[in-house]
Amino acid sequence: MLNSKSVDPYVYPETLDLTSQDFAPFSSISFYSTMTPIAFNFTVIHPLSSSLTVKKINWKTENEFIKRCLVVDHEHSNQNVPYYSLIRMKISVKHTTECKFASAEGENIKTTISFQETNQTANYSLILNLIQTPAREERILIDAFHNLKFPEDGYILRDSIFIDKQPYEWKGDHVFTNYMQLYTFLNSQGYYIEILNEPLTCFDSNNYGTLMLADPEKGLSRNEIIKLRRDIETRGLSLVIIAEWSDSTMMDKHTFTSEFTRKVWKPLIAGSNLQSINTLLRPYGIMFKESSYSGTIAVGEEKFKVESGAILQKFPNKGYLFSGKLVEDAVAIQKIDEFDEIGDEIHPMVGIYDLSDENNSIKSGSILAIGDSYCIESAAPVNCFNMISEFISSQKQKYKQSLLYSEEHRLKYDFNSDLNEAPFQEKYRQEVDKCSGTNYFSLKDEMHSSFQLANTVEFITKWEVTDDAKYVYIGDNWLTDLSFKYEIIFLSVIALLIMCSLAFYIWYQRKRNIQYMKIVPDVDI
């Protein structure tokens, strides 16, 4: 016989406690003014009725700050599948002075759902923290709107050609899936992470210190690019942009005929939309090459793996460039098929450019350009979280004491690995940007930018590897040019002591043998 709880409609989960580790990663979420809205899904189960129509949803709380500051919206579907319904709870905080400084800990929001067909109700609770609005430098906005995945958005190729067994981009590139460890790490460093599920014109850059645009497959619209450029140039927003591979040869290798539909499946896009990324970065002299490379790269104190990434073709003077030993994926596949030896090459894949150095303005932000997203995935054996954290910290503190800003990586001339390149054609997404709230794109942003990039007459076409255990230049004062010279000197002293000890041991053993031979007399037989 069914008990009373299984007969009455009920909600799963009955309680969502955002202050408990049982609900990680949501347990790290706190609410504050000007943050992006957050939505939670609840399932309504009604065992004795195949369909129930939601009549009304009411919420209540005893805290006055919560009542005045919290905005709670509910959406519901009257029928998903028999005996089940879906409730979506969307929460945001009002942009008022009172709410900016309001705080409440462990407050319980109780919600009651009533139905048209019955007098029975279903209840659930949400426990949350309301805190004062953090400083702009402590807030990071991660874009999720421009990420596409299989099968919802079509045949999207995977990011790592040689790692993933499945050919499709099914992970979604989200902080709650394959970027989970990055989210946890940045949160542990004291940063507040928010997710943008709308176009880039829908956020106010004055509220954030850093925007992270990771592996965007969907193109950027013209308004998005214009607004984001002004955010970086005049509003102090720093950008972490992480590209992915894009190679027509590799895409052709992954074109096939489906056994089920008998139709030719051609990838809609490769790892990321490089054309759109290059359109955004063009005014700053930064450009990724349409390519796919794998190998290793060292940045600062970190050395991590590259799996199918795009190398940097252009980078401006006064920027900081990092290279690694890489192999082109298409060439590697051909060499493997021919049982030939695979040789690596030196190419740059990470660069840092501070616009304030060029613009002489403290209001300008910086750009961290990375050619591969594998190092931020949770499955990567070695990650690059510290590199990203150091970059964000340097923007927060406005100092350049990190190894990321070492002079040996600083460009004195513009870098361009292909001086005979074809003219670049800008590409924009043609869709209209729709925002659920305020659209922060302004017609004033379309005015000509005051930012001017000072190009150099000479160009650097090749860049050397400058990582651990390697030196940049051998000159008259070669000792001072060595990277990690103190560690090398220390190891050299240890090696010298070991050699001296070994020599003493050999001398001592020989001396004992000579003395023994003098003591023992010769015996003739």
Are 237 and 151 part of one and the same domain? yes
Q: Is the pLDDT of residue 79 over 80?
A: no
Report yes or no on 164 lying in a domain: yes
Are 272 and 404 part of one and the same domain? yes
Are 126 and 164 part of one and the same domain? no
* Residue that is last in its domain, among 130, 157, 184: 130
**According to the model, what pLDDT value does residue 476 have?**
35
Cα distance between residue 477 and residue 460, in whole Å: 24
- pTM of structure: 0.83
Are 350 and 299 part of one and the same domain? yes
CATH number at residue 33: 2.60.40.10
Are 19 and 108 part of one and the same domain? yes
Report yes or no on 69 lying in a domain: yes
Report yes or no on 469 lying in a domain: no
Number of structural domains, the chain?
A: 3
Are 36 and 171 part of one and the same domain? no
Report yes or no on 470 lying in a domain: no
CA-based nearest residue to 182, from 359, 346, 338, 377: 377
What tokens were used for 319?
Answer: 């920027």
Q: Domain residues for 120?
A: 8-130
Report yes or no on 471 lying in a domain: no
Are 160 and 12 part of one and the same domain? no
The mean-pLDDT minimum among 41-45, 66-70, 113-117, 339-343 falls in 339-343
Report yes or no on 1 lying in a domain: no
Identity at 109, one-letter amino acid code = I
* Residue that is last in its domain, among 130, 148, 167: 130
Q: Is the pLDDT of residue 32 over 90?
A: yes
- 404: helix, coil or strand? helix
Distance of CA 51 to the CA centre of its chain: 42
Distances in Å between the alpha carbon of 393 and those of 210, 265, 367, 390, 416? 10, 44, 13, 5, 29
**According to the model, what pLDDT value does residue 255 have?**
81
Report yes or no on 416 lying in a domain: yes
Are 491 and 447 part of one and the same domain? no
Are 410 and 369 part of one and the same domain? yes
Are 125 and 140 part of one and the same domain? no
Cα distance between residue 364 and residue 245, in whole Å: 29
DSSP string, 420-484: TPPPP----B-SPP--SS-----GGGGSPPS------SSEE-------TT-BS--STTHHHHBTT
Are 82 and 120 part of one and the same domain? yes
* Residue that is last in its domain, among 409, 426, 460: 460
The mean-pLDDT minimum among 27-36, 52-61, 397-406, 417-426 falls in 397-406
Report yes or no on 475 lying in a domain: no
**According to the model, what pLDDT value does residue 78 have?**
64
Are 56 and 170 part of one and the same domain? no
* β-bridge pairing 70-81 and 84-93: antiparallel
